[in-house]
A and B are shown apart, each in its own frame.
Chain A
């Protein structure tokens, strides 16, 4: 299965992925509804996008009381809007913080890999986000560990 591989060293924090993602999710540009979100590190010198790792457990999927989260053709955990009632259980079950809730539609939403053609990977001007057939991983950890050293100075 292909997944979103993040190479954080390449990210410049331009947030173009958020725009592309929100368009795919909502049909409009609305970064508030993007399911990929860019975080700053170390006094705003460093950025990296963060999104669903498509974990094996699928905490969101197993938690859903009405079976509204399933696995789509691309292998991504995906919310079936018609089934989702908006109870938010998935948002607390997901330990990665990558389940979202849309107050306008009253549905949960998440990264579904755009069904196999992820918009964020297309949009990224620096190839920090690529769509590859590799095992999922904690892509940001080492980068973030290094790039937060300074953040902690003066705590």
Chain B
């Protein structure tokens, strides 16, 4: 039971779409057990981010709620949660939301991946896995309906994430989506701070060092056999109808159509035109290669590509590809997302597309966050160019665009060899260690999380969002169908106040999406449709208004945990380079630094949080129905 509730004589029936149980794992005690959760909690916390937020808040406090356990403490919880839509025929509902105290910020995280994790888990009979404790020896968690085992992972140690999945497939005699495996590669084993949790050949929950948390717990992987249980929908026809309407929206709506056709690939050209493509560690905003060569159809046609979709998804988004030529000819790789083309490409000055594609999968295999890799590797390249990191210090010469050199650096970082040990701490800590000009050249937020793969100096809403976030990454996300929320369809991207109003205005939607178990890309439909799908599946009556209130409740709970972790408003700002002003390109001269204070103030006002302490105000909390949290945060004053 997550929350204590008055006992009533009648137990409400299990809502549709839920498996009905949480899978608890204590690695210290080597125990696994199933724990039912109540329909009332399902309604309040949904799943995914919402469920993770409340578990984290309830179970990671120290000093009577004044402090919080650190990311590497055995009492840290690693929540791998699905949502009610996971495993249903709604597009993109592979649904894995990882919630934990992350290694990058040492604060809360919510980061999403898909594939078939959620599907397989729910058909085994569980809505989420909650992991606590630390194992003495390396183990992996094996789930097959009622069979729950912590198995010896000795033979898997040192394997990358793809090799590990191959090995587990062989060991279990299963293939394809019969077995979903999420876990860590060498980077996670060696506690690289920006290690991610990778799975199902190319899917990743990448943010805030969740892979390091797994590594610290000595949990190499979670392997879930596709279960044999059933899921009911409260209204089957309604669920399919809502799913089909969402699909129609995604196919036809201008805000989603290109995603439907090409996934995130068009981002390279689109962001390049805005000056938001991060080029060579933010040293320029003028592309070094003709962008027409980087149009989505060309990126795709350059490879022998094959669909590799998540559960029930019709988007032409996730793909596998076979590299046709060059040094890496014949390799099977995961088609890079936009973030791959930027982090393993533009951010490090690469122009060899086969190479970028190959490197992107190397990162996936090693289990590191591709965004942080772009900032780290680009920074090393710039520092070498400028003599701030010597060849001797690094052990070799690494120039812009050097794919094999970048992989060499990756292997050093993975294994914490030589200077790789410093770099394994992420660019923030490495830069702070070096100090001076090197420090000023690094891209990070003062909280410690990695910005995603844009030049946010031309995308202010994301810089504001990332800096103020309580989830170790973009928290409120990309504005989608904002008019539905009464927000203007278009704003001036360089007018600080308009940006702050927008970021505050959309707050909550992302948390809702991350809680119902849908991919952030297939969630790019009207909230009304998402609510319809949720209601048909569960039998509830969520409205658009309630879904936003839900999301803001979750945001408030995450924030409360973040503050308990000692991450206050003073850290809500960009690093020197991250917050600098572009000196060329389409956003030349647009200075976010000049408007920052004003933006932050307005944002605080609009989200209803206290500017000084960072806490959601008592009024905000009460309005959200979080009286209990108001009491926790403000005591009698509430």
Contacts and interface: CB of A to CB of B under 8 A. Distances in A.
Interface string A27-44: 011111100001110111
Judged by DSSP, the binding face of A is: mixed
Nearest to B17: A29
Contacts of B311: 14-16
Interface in B98-128: 116, 119, 123
Contacts of A42: 332
Judged by DSSP, the binding face of B is: loop
A47 B314 CA distance: 14
B230 A29 contact: yes
Interface stretch (A18-26, A57-65, A90-98): A18-26
A116 interface: no
Contact of A28 (B227, B230, B247, B316): B230
Contacts of B232: 28-29
A105 interface: no
A92 to B, nearest CB: 20
Nearest to B306: A45
B184 interface: no
A46 interface: yes
Given A13-B176, A39-B176, A32 B308 contact: no
B175 A40 contact: yes
A125 interface: yes
A14 B314 contact: yes
B89 A29 contact: yes
Nearest to B312: A16
Looking at A11, A29, A31, which has the most chain B CB atoms within 10 Å of its CB?
A: A29
B123 A30 contact: yes
B230 to A, nearest CB: 4
A85 interface: no
Given A16-B312, A45-B320, A125-B91, A32 B227 contact: yes
Interface string B221-258: 00000111111110010001000000100000000000
Nearest to A13: B309
A137 interface: no
A29 B247 contact: no
Contacts of B227: 32
Looking at B227, B232, B307, B314, which has the most chain A CB atoms within 10 Å of its CB?
A: B307
A30 B230 contact: yes
B230 A26 contact: yes
B230 A44 contact: no
Contact of B177 (A20, A30, A40, A46): A40
Contacts of A14: 307, 309-314
26 contacts: A12-B307, A12-B308, A13-B176, A14-B312, A14-B313, A14-B314, A15-B177, A15-B311, A16-B313, A19-B88, A28-B232, A29-B233, A30-B231, A38-B176, A39-B176, A40-B175, A40-B177, A42-B332, A43-B332, A44-B308, A45-B320, A45-B321, A45-B332, A47-B176, A125-B313, A150-B332
Interface of B: 87-89, 91, 116, 119, 123, 175-177, 201, 226-233, 236, 240, 247, 306-314, 316, 320-322, 332
Which 6 pairs across A and B sit closest by C-beta, in order of nearness?
A: A125-B314, A12-B307, A40-B176, A28-B230, A30-B230, A32-B228
Given A31-B119, A44-B201, 4 more contacts: A19-B312, A123-B312, A125-B247, A126-B307
